[in-house]
Chains A and B, each alone.
Chain A
Amino acid sequence: MDLLYSELRWLPQAPEDFSESLKAVAKSTAYLGGELQALASHGLNLNQLTRLARTMDKLRVAGNGLGPLIPFRLAVLSNSAIDMIVPALKASALRHGIALEVVQPSYDQVAQEALTPDSKVNSSMPDAVLLALDYRAIPLKLSPGDREVASATVQGAIGYLQALRNGINAHSNAVCIFQNFAPPVEPLFGSLDRALPGTRRHLLDAINRELAAMVLDSGNVLLDVAGLAEIVGLAEWHNTRLWNMAKFSFSNQIIPLYAEHVARTVAALRGKSRKVLILDLDNTAWGGVIGDDGLDGIKVAQGDARGEAHLAVQRLALDLRQRGVVLAVASKNADDVAREPFEKHPEMLLKLDHIAVFQANWNDKATNIQAIAAELNLGLDAMVLVDDNPAERGLVRKLLPQVAVPELPEEPAWYTRYLAAAGYFEAVAFSSEDLQRAGFYQANARRASLQKQVGGVDAYLASLDMTITFQPFDATGRARIVQLINKSNQYNLTTRRYTDPEVAAAEADPHVFTLQVRLADTFGDNGMISVVICRPADPGVWEIDTWLMSCRVLGRNVQNMVLREILEHARNARIHMLKGVYHPTEKNKLVVDHYARLGFQKVLEEEPGLTRWELAVAGPAPDSAPMKVVSQGFASGPGGPAS
C-alpha cells in the first residue's frame, strides 16, 4: 500500500521518544489537551494510536481536564468488529482538537440499536452516530441482467438505510454519518460487472449513488469509504483473512487512515476545518528562486516537468479558492520581486487578485503567518502553510503549533497529492456562501482601505449603503445556520453547538424565536452573518440561547440592529423581558461586554467569568445604524421595524 496513505505521510513522523513523551503526559496533572493533541499530530501507527487513546482514557478517568479539546460523543453502529478501531478513532480525533467519547453497542446490533427508542445508542444522547456498515450488512441479491429485480434490491437496501436514519434522527436527535460501500474485489463476469444490472458491482454502484443523495438531502453526513478504498485500492482494503479470523471489515493497515477520515468528518461537523491556504513561493508556487533565477529562470511553464508540478500546485490552490478557501502568500523575498511573476509571467495561473493577503518580506514565516491571521481576522487554527523547506515547516510547527503544515516529499510532482491527502478543508456541507467566501475576505481588505480614506467611521458606514435582512430559520438557510453555529468562536455569546436536526427542531418549534441575518453592501453580498435563537424561559421572558455573528462584519453596529429586531418581535409576542448570558471560552473575549454595550443590566456574575444579563423590552432600544432593514417570513405579520 502507498506509504502516503498507510503511514499518513503528510504528518511528521512520530518522535523517537514517543513512548517517553506519552508516559510524561500520563504522569502530569495539568490541563493536557494541548499535549495530547501535539502527540497525536504525527503519523502514528495502530499501536501508537492505541497507547495514546489509553493514556487519554486514563487521564479522563482520573478527572484531569482535557481542555481546550472539544468534547464529542460518537456512537458507532457496525456489522463488523470495531474494538481495534475505537482507540484509533479517539487518538485521531485528538489530532483535530476533539476529545472523543465512543459509544459502542454490542456486536452487530445495528437495526435494534437504531430503531429502539431507549437502546444504548439512542439513550446515550450522542452528538453523532457513525453507521460503519460494509457490503455484508445489506442483502445483495444477485440477479445478473434482470433490471427489475436489481432495482428492487437497490430500493430495498436504501429503504433499510433510510429506516436506520429515521430511527436515529427521531430517537436520539443525532446527526448520522453514513459510510458508503467499498465493493468486494472479486468480479463475477469481469469488466461486464460494471455494466450489467444485478451484479454485485452494479448494485453497489447504484446503492452508493442513491445513498449519497439520501444522506445529503436529509442534512446528514456522508463518509466516502468507497472513495477512500478506490484511492488505496480494493485489494489493499479488503482482507478476507482478517474478516474470517476476527470480523474486521477492512485490513488492519487501513485503520489509521480510516480513523483519520472519521476524525476529520467529526471535526468538520464542529466547524474545525481549515479556511486559509498560505503558499510559500520559491520552489512551492514555482520552481526555482525568483530573486536568483529571475522572471525568465523560474519554472512555471507547461511542457517542463518541474514547471508542471508547480503549476499543479497553483491549479489546486485556485480550485480550493473557488470552493471558498482563502489564499495568502508568505514568502521570504523583497515584496516587489515576489510580486513580479504574478504580474508579468504569462504562464502563472495565480494572479495577485486571487491572494487575500500577500506577505513578502524578510521576517520569519511564523511572524508573517500571524500577520496574515490578524489581517483576515481568523484564528491560527484556520491556517495551512504549504512550504517546500523542511526548516521553515519545522519552525512554524514549533512556534505556531495551531497552524497545519503538511510534510512534502522531495519530488514536487507529489505536492498536490500530499496536500489533498491531508484533507485540511474537509466539509460536510456546501452552501452558496462558501462559493463566495474567498471573495468576502478580499472585499474586507478593500473595505478596510476605504475606511482609511474616508476617515470617520460613521461616514464610512453610511458610504457602505448596507441592507440588513432578517428572517426566521428556514430550510433554505439551514446548512449555513448549522455551519455558523458550529464554527463561530469569537463573536459567540454561548458557543452552543447544534446539529442539523437540532436546528430543524428549533425552526419547527413555534415557541422558539429564531433569526437568520444577512447583510449586503456596496461591495457585494456578505451572505448570512448572524444567527439568534431565543427560547421561552419564565412566562413573558425570552432567554437568548444563541447569539453569534461573523467577524467579517465587526464594527458596523449590526448587533444593534439585531437587538432592535428581537425587541420588535418580543413586543409582538407579549414578551416583557430578555435574558442573556455570556459563557466565556478561550476565544470569545470579544463579546465579554456585548450585553453591557447594548444596555442590558448585569444581574449575576458566576465563576469563572460567566455573566447573566436582563433587558426590559419596554425600555429604550439601542441606537440604529445606517442601513436599510428588510424583515420577511415572520408569522407575526408583514414588515418589521423601520430603519
Chain B
Amino acid sequence: MDQALIYSRLKEIFEDVFDDDSIEVTPQLTAKYVDGWDSVNHIRLILTVEKAFKIEFSTSEIGSLENVGDLVALIQARA
C-alpha cells in the first residue's frame, strides 16, 4: 500500500483517537509530542489501526514500535 495513502488514513485515525485535528502525522512523531498519548490510548490507537487496515500485529511488533515511521513500515509490510 502506498505510503501517502497510509499517512492520510493515519491522520484521520489520530484525529479520532486523540480528539485533535491539528496533529501532523510524520515519520518522526512519537508519543511525547501528542497530548493524551498515554499507554491506554496507545493501545486504542493500535487497535484502531488494526481495524482500519484489517491486520493484526503481534505483541512483540507492538512492543518494538519507536515512532510513526515504524508503524507505517509495519502496516506496509502487512496491508
B74 close to A (CB within 8 Å): no
Q: Which residue of B lies closest to A251 (CB)?
A: B47
Query: Closest CB of chain A to B56's CB: distance in Å?
Result: 8
Q: Does B68 contact A (CB under 8 A)?
A: no
Q: Mark B20-48, 1 if CB is under 8 A from A, else 0.
A: 01000000000000000001100110011
Min CB distance, B76 to chain A, in Å? 22
Residue of A nearest to B56 (CB): A241
Do B43 and A245 touch (CB < 8 A)?
Answer: yes
Closest to B15 in A: A19
Contacts of B62 in A (CB 8 A): 245
Question: When the two chains form the complex, which single residue of A54, A242, A246 contacts B19, counting CB atoms closer than 8 Å?
Answer: A54
In the bound complex, do residue A50 and residue B44 qualify as a contact, i.e. CB atoms below 8 Å apart? yes
Contact of A252 among B17, B47, B59 (CB under 8 A): B47
A47 adjacent to chain B (CB < 8 Å): yes
How long is the Cα–Cα vector from A50 to B43 in the complex, in angstroms?
13
Contact B48 A83 (CB under 8 A): no
Q: How many residues of B contact A (CB 8 A)?
A: 13
A244 at the interface (CB under 8 A from B): yes
- Bound: A614/B3 CA distance, A: 76
Q: How far, in angstroms, from A471 to B59 measured CA to CA in the complex?
A: 63
Cβ contacts under 8 Å, A84 to chain B: 40, 43-44
CB neighbours (8 Å) of A50 from chain B are 17, 19, 44
Q: Chain A contact residues: over half helix, strand or loop, or mixed?
A: helix
When distances are taken between beta carbons in the complex, the residues of chain B under 8 Å from A54 are 19
| CB of A85, distance to nearest CB on chain B (Å) | 10
> Across the interface, do A244 and B19 meet the contact criterion of CB distance under 8 Å?
no
Instruction: State in angstroms the CA–CA spacing of A34 and B61 once bound together.
Output: 44
Task: Name which residue of chain A comes closest to B17, CB basis.
Answer: A47
The residues of A that contact B15 with a CB separation of less than 8 Å are: 19
A51 at the interface (CB under 8 A from B): yes
Report the interface size class on chain A: 10 to 19
Given A241-B59, A244-B59, A245-B62, are A46 and B44 also a contact pair (CB < 8 Å)?
A: yes
| Chain A 21-51: CB-based contact to B (< 8 A → 1; otherwise 0) | 0000000000000000000000000111011
Q: Which residues of A contact B59 (CB under 8 A)?
A: 241, 244-245
Residues from chain A with Cβ under 8 Å of B48 in the complex: 46-47
Q: Within 8 Å CB of B39, what residues of A?
A: 246
| Cβ–Cβ contact A47 & B43, under 8 A | no
Across-interface contacts of B17 in A (CB, < 8 A): 47, 50
A529 to chain B, nearest CB (A): 48
Interface 1/0s, chain A 51-74, versus B by CB < 8 A?
100100000000000000000000
B66 contacts partner chain A, Cβ-Cβ < 8 Å: no
CA distance A46 to B44 in the complex (A): 9
A47 in contact with B40 given A241-B59, A244-B59, A245-B59 (CB within 8 Å): no
B47 / chain A contacts, CB cutoff of 8 Å: 46, 252
Task: Select the residue from B17, B19, B39, B43 with max chain A CB neighbours within 10 A.
Answer: B19
Question: What separation, in Å, do the CA atoms of A83 and B15 have in the docked complex?
Answer: 20
Nearest residue (CB) in A for B50 is A252
Report whether A246 and B16 are in contact in the complex, using a CB–CB cutoff of 8 Å.
Answer: no
Interface string of B57-71 (1 = CB under 8 A from A): 001001000000000
Q: How far is the CA of A51 from the CA of B13 in the complex (A)?
A: 13
Q: Which has the most chain B C-beta neighbours within 10 Å: A47, A241, A246?
A: A47
Given the complex, which residues of B lie within 8 Å of A81, measured CB to CB? 40
For residue A235, give the distance in angstroms from its CB to the closest CB of chain B: 15
Contact partners of A51 in chain B: CB under 8 A: 16, 19
B40 contacts across to A, CB distance below 8 A = 81, 83-84, 246
CA distance A245 to B59 in the complex (A): 7
The minimal Cβ–Cβ distance linking B6 to chain A, given in whole angstroms, is 18
Residues of B within 8 A of A241 (CB): 59
Residue of A48, A81, A83, A242 with highest tally of chain B CB at under 10 A: A83
A51 to B21 Cα, complex, angstroms: 13
In the complex, what distance in Å separates the CA atom of A83 from the CA atom of B41? 9
Proximity bits, A73-98, B CB within 8 Å = 1, else 0: 00000000101100000000000000
A-B contacts, 28 of them at CB < 8 A, read A19-B15, A19-B21, A46-B47, A46-B48, A47-B17, A47-B44, A47-B48, A48-B16, A50-B17, A50-B19, A51-B16, A51-B19, A54-B19, A81-B40, A83-B40, A84-B40, A84-B43, A84-B44, A241-B59, A242-B43, A244-B59, A245-B43, A246-B39, A246-B40, A246-B43, A252-B43, A252-B44, A252-B47
A interface residues (Cβ-Cβ under 8 A, vs B) = 19, 46-48, 50-51, 54, 81, 83-84, 241-242, 244-246, 252
Sorted nearest first, the 9 A-B pairs with minimum C-beta distance are A83-B40, A47-B16, A51-B19, A246-B43, A252-B47, A245-B59, A84-B40, A47-B17, A54-B19
